[in-house]
Amino acid sequence: MCMVLSSDPPPPKGYISSLRGFSFSEKTCGSAGEVTNGNIEYVPDNEFGGKAVVKCNTGFISVGGIEMNCEDQGWTGRLPVCEVQTCLPPSQIENGGYQPEREIYRYLENIVYSCRTPDYTLVGENSRTCSSDGTFKPDPPTCAKSKCLLFFSFFFYTFLNVD
**Domain that residue 146 falls in:** 86-158
Residue 163 lies in a domain: no
Residue 145 lies in a domain: yes
Residue 123 lies in a domain: yes
- Quickly state the pLDDT bin for 103 (edges 50, 70, 90): very high
Q: Of the residues 24, 59, 84, which one is the last residue of a structural domain?
A: 84
Residue 70 lies in a domain: yes
User: How many Å apart are CA 27 and CA 15, to the nearest integer?
Assistant: 5
Q: Helix (H, G, I), strand (E, B), or coil: what is residue 154?
A: helix
- Quickly state the pLDDT bin for 1 (edges 50, 70, 90): very low
Say if residues 51 and 69 touch (Cβ distance below 8 Å).
yes
Torsion of CA 86, 91, 96, 97, to 10 degrees: 30
Cα 107 to chain centroid distance, Å, stands at 9
Q: How far is CA 8 from CA 3, 5, 14, 27, 38, in A?
A: 16, 10, 17, 18, 44
- pLDDT at position 161: 44
pLDDT at 13 over 60: no
Residue 1 lies in a domain: no
Q: What percent of the chain has pLDDT over 70?
A: 75
Residues 90, 76 share a domain: no
Residues 76, 22 share a domain: yes
Residue 4 lies in a domain: no
Q: Of the residues 84, 110, 127, which one is the last residue of a structural domain?
A: 84
- pLDDT at position 148: 64
- pLDDT at position 39: 96
Amino acid 8 reads D
Residues 20, 60 share a domain: yes
